[in-house]
Amino acid sequence: MGRARIAGIAAGLSLLVVGGAAVGLSVADSPASQLSRQALLDHQRAVRLAGPRQPDGRTDAVAISAVPWHPTVPGQVASVSIPALDVVAPVVPEKPVDGVLTIPADVHHVGWDRDSPPAGGDGVSLLAGHVNWVGQGEGALGQIGQLVPGDQVVVNWSGSQSVWTVSSPPRLSPNTVVHRSLFSDSGPATLVLVTCGGPFTETAHGGSYADNVIVTATPA
């Protein structure tokens, strides 16, 4: 990926993931309701983590290996599984348009910035998705802010499976901040998941979130 596009794409991604994910969100799905649901999820997660069991159903670390590949949606290049959140979602390629990374219209799909390397290549593989959308519910990446270091993400890239470990707590970053480190095609293989979050501002036409939720994972 050329360095000339880093700043433009980085800024565009932040604005799109945060703003676009909330367009059309109903007033009934208010910030207060979201906070209440989030508090319940936080409590449920704490109870699970305190129990005498393998944390969050994490899988054992495995090397990249060949596994069956069965695409379920047009254009799908991979699938992503997050055992701790009980999430499995198809990954489809998305191309930046006018410096803005588009996100799949279906919130249950995850977009791959096709100018970033596939998972396992040198540099940062960037996956992004909506947190929610009116009429569709919660997005596939809607709860990635719940992940903790040690949780795993499994990627099946067209039959090549790799396992990744969340390396640090999720970051909540203002959508005005440009994270150039997320747009690199060199250096250690890194997997980054992005959705929107933080304060939600309601408007007559829906609303938008103020921040991005960023989760970074490294090969297990």
The DSSP annotation for 94-133 comes to E--BTTB----SSTTSEEEETTSPPTTSSSEEEEE--SEE
Per-residue confidence (pLDDT) for residue 133, from 0 to 100:
65
Per-residue confidence (pLDDT) for residue 181, from 0 to 100 = 74
Q: Tell me the C-alpha distance between 62 and 71, whole Å.
A: 22
Q: What pLDDT is recorded for position 9?
A: 38
> What integer pLDDT is reported at residue 195 of this predicted model?
87
pLDDT-flagged residues of the chain (< 50): 1-28, 30, 32, 36, 43, 46-62
Q: Which domain holds residue 95?
A: 3-219
Chain position carrying tokens 């919660």: 138
Q: What's the confidence (pLDDT) of residue 61?
A: 35
Cα(190)–Cα(126) distance, integer angstroms? 9
Number of separate domains in the chain: 1
Length of the chain counted residue by residue? 220
Question: Measuring CA to CA, which residue among 31, 37, 17, 32 is closest to residue 201?
Answer: 31
> In whole angstroms, how far apart are CA 120 and each of 9, 76, 165, 169?
21, 17, 13, 21
Query: 45: helix, coil or strand?
Result: helix
Q: Backbone phi, then psi, for 70, in 5-degree steps?
A: -135, 90
Q: What integer pLDDT is reported at residue 62 of this predicted model? A: 34
HSE of 131, CA atoms in CB hemisphere, 13 A: 32
pTM for the complete prediction?
0.70
CATH number, domain with residue 72: 2.40.260.10
Q: Report the greatest alpha carbon distance in the chain.
A: 50
Q: How far is CA 127 from the centre of its chain?
A: 6
* Cα separations in angstroms, 50 against 44, 151, 189: 10, 15, 32
pLDDT tens, residue by residue, 19-38: 343 333 333 354 545 554 55
